[in-house]
Structure 1
Amino acid sequence: MPHRTELYEDSPSACWPIVYSPDYNITFMGLEKLHPFDAGKWGKVINFLKEEKLIADDLIVQAREATDEDLLVVHTRRYLNKLKAGKLAVDRGWAINVGGGFHHCSSDKGGGFCAYADITLAIKFLFERVQGVSKATIIDLDAHQGNGHERDFMDDHRVYIMDAYNRYIYPGDGFAKRAIKRKVELEWGTEDTEYLQKVHTHVEGALNELKPDIIIYNAGTDILDGDPLGGLAISPQGIVKRDEVVFKAARRRRIPILMVTSGGYQKRTARIIADSILNLHNLGLIDKELATIGAENPKVEQMIRDTAKDLANLSLQ
């Protein structure tokens, strides 16, 4: 039997399926300024979207707190005892979580600023609770290899992983690479034209090879030119176009898609994320009233609502 959880409470239908909590923004007596990660990035994204009149405070889905019982779906008790409680983002329909994407964390080990295996947890919840969801595809376009979810789904044929990353940087996890079904290893300084061509080719190839019931899209902005940790050279316009390519591929195939924002270590990444969300809206790829792409089928509509609620973004307090 599925464990008891409060993560399935319905979200107001008037809300955008954009999830955020002020607790995502980490501060510690100013010491966060010494770290390359912009600890206030997620709040800045929301503020940019407010300025553009896309959203307002009362139209955002508020993150919920995950209990130990929720986290034990993925993590061991021993591992959880090492961590503080976090925040769970609860989504519905298509989903964009302005936090999340902790793809270096596996079920028993953290790493690379990642304390919780939110991608693994989302998929585990889906397989456990949502009838008809038996296949998932992870499209990981962060600059770093997503070794956490790769280790978790190493022998799980229900999960198809596409991962495009700088081959020379952290984590260089050779064992985890065995789980990647479509591996795209990039060179230092890869630029827009080559990058977007590869993203388009391999996203289309991945979704043609296996049509999943859900896509988890890890949309890191650490591919941006000048990022101190990513080592690639993609322009802001290239990042916006990349997200557009992925959402269009999902929409053409009528596959629900859940997006998390993952890495990005420059102050300007918040503006780029906001611009990308606005672009997706302007193109009609996301909409507050759109329950995404299968609303004419009640079973699919229910699946979409339920699956989005399972996207676990666990941001350290």
Structure 2
Amino acid sequence: MPHRSELYEDIPSVCWPIVYSPDYNITFMGLEKLHPFDAGKWGKVINFLKEEKLIGDDLIVQAREATDEDLLVVHTRRYLNKLKAGKLAVDRGWAINVGGGFHHCSSDKGGGFCAYADITLAIKFLFERVPGVSKATIIDLDAHQGNGHERDFMDDQKVYIMDVYNRYIYPGDGFAKRAIKRKVELEWGTEDTEYLQKVHTHVEGALNELKPDIIVYNAGTDILDGDPLGGLAISPQGIVKRDEVVFKAARSRRIPILMVTSGGYQKRTARIIADSILNLHNLGLIDKELVASEAENSKVEKMIRDSVTDLTNLSL
């Protein structure tokens, strides 16, 4: 029996399934400037999209706050007692949460700037509440290994995990690696050509091996050349192309996809995320009308897309 939740609401069809809250942007008397993470990058992404006339305030899905009862779907009471509540972003169809992607957090342990296991929670909500959704694929392309969701789904055959990461950096979680179905470990300084070839090959391979009912795409920008924590050397154009590759693979197979933005520790990553979203729109891979037109052709797909509204990502 699904637990009771106030996170479920109907989203007006005029809204883009782009999820954001001003509360995503973290400030603490200026001390956030001393941290490598750009605590205001999510707001900057939204502002860039507004400048390009893609969205307006009235067209954005406002993230809602998750209760302890919602968080207990994944986390233990003991763990929640150590934390304050976060934000749950509401998604549908294809969806992009400009926050989220806390892939180092598992059900009972945080880590690596990650307090809530939002990827795990999104998938468990889907399995619990959406008839016909029984298989999920996580495509984790952040520069770091996604050990949180890997630990949570270690023995779950319904969840297929593909992870592409710098083998030499945090977290180096050997136990969690056992959950990865398609593991791609990169060398220091990997550049565009090699990276994009591997991403394309393995995304296609993963989705050919198992067609999921939902893709959760962790699109970290810490792969960017010069990132102080990622150790890779991917250009801004390479990141835009990477996201295009993943969305093309999902859309060509008519698989709903949820993108979260995860890590990225340079000031310019906000502009790159916005450019990527604009590119996806220009290519027709994301559009307000796309969801509706496809839903008309399949009641099952409509159920999934509408229900993804009710599910997804926790953002601080």
TM-score normalized by the length of structure 2:
0.98
Structure 2: where are the runs of 5+ without partners? none
- After alignment, is 290-299 or 272-281 more displaced? 290-299
| Mapped partners of 2:312, 2:295: distance in 1 | 23
Distance 1:310 1:179, change over 3 A: farther
Question: Could you give the per-residue CA deviations for residues 149-170 of structure 1, whole angstroms, max 9, x where no partner exists?
Answer: 0000000000000000000000
Q: For residue 293 of structure 1, give the secondary structure of its aligned residue in structure 2.
A: helix
Q: Is the 8 A contact 1:182 1:202 kept in 2?
A: yes
Question: Could you give the per-residue CA deviations for residues 229-285 of structure 1, whole angstroms, max 9, x where no partner exists?
Answer: 000000000000000000000011110000000000000000000000000000000
Q: Is the 8 A contact 2:86 2:314 kept in 1?
A: yes
| Mapped partners of 2:238, 2:203: distance in 1 | 16
The CA deviation at 1:305 is 2.8
Q: Is the 8 A contact 1:130 1:306 kept in 2?
A: no
Question: Could you give the per-residue CA deviations for residues 76-112 of structure 1, whole angstroms, max 9, x where no partner exists?
Answer: 0000010001111001121000000000000000000
Q: For residue 290 of structure 1, give the secondary structure of its aligned residue in structure 2.
A: helix
The CA deviation at 1:33 is 0.3
The CA deviation at 1:307 is 4.0
Distance 1:56 1:12, change over 3 A: same
Q: Does 1:3 align with 2:29?
A: no
Aligned length: 316
* Aligned position for 2:36: 36
| Mapped partners of 1:83, 1:77: distance in 2 | 10
The CA deviation at 1:8 is 1.5
Distance 1:256 1:163, change over 3 A: same
Distance 1:171 1:311, change over 3 A: farther
Distance 1:103 1:282, change over 3 A: same
Q: Is the 8 A contact 1:42 1:98 kept in 2?
A: yes
Q: CA RMSD in A?
A: 1.1
| Mapped partners of 1:110, 1:304: distance in 2 | 29
- After alignment, is 281-290 or 188-197 more displaced? 281-290
Q: Is the 8 A contact 2:225 2:233 kept in 1?
A: yes
Q: Is the 8 A contact 1:100 1:312 kept in 2?
A: no
* Aligned position for 2:12: 12
| Mapped partners of 1:156, 1:66: distance in 2 | 25
Quote the sequence identity (%). Answer: 94
- After alignment, is 307-316 or 170-179 more displaced? 307-316
Q: Is the 8 A contact 2:296 2:302 kept in 1?
A: no
| Mapped partners of 1:7, 1:167: distance in 2 | 37
Question: Could you give the per-residue CA deviations for residues 188-210 of structure 1, whole angstroms, max 9, x where no partner exists?
Answer: 00000000000000000000000
Q: Is the 8 A contact 2:126 2:308 kept in 1?
A: no
The CA deviation at 1:54 is 0.2
TM-score normalized by the length of structure 1:
0.98
| Mapped partners of 1:299, 1:184: distance in 2 | 36
| Mapped partners of 1:237, 1:189: distance in 2 | 16
The CA deviation at 1:7 is 1.4
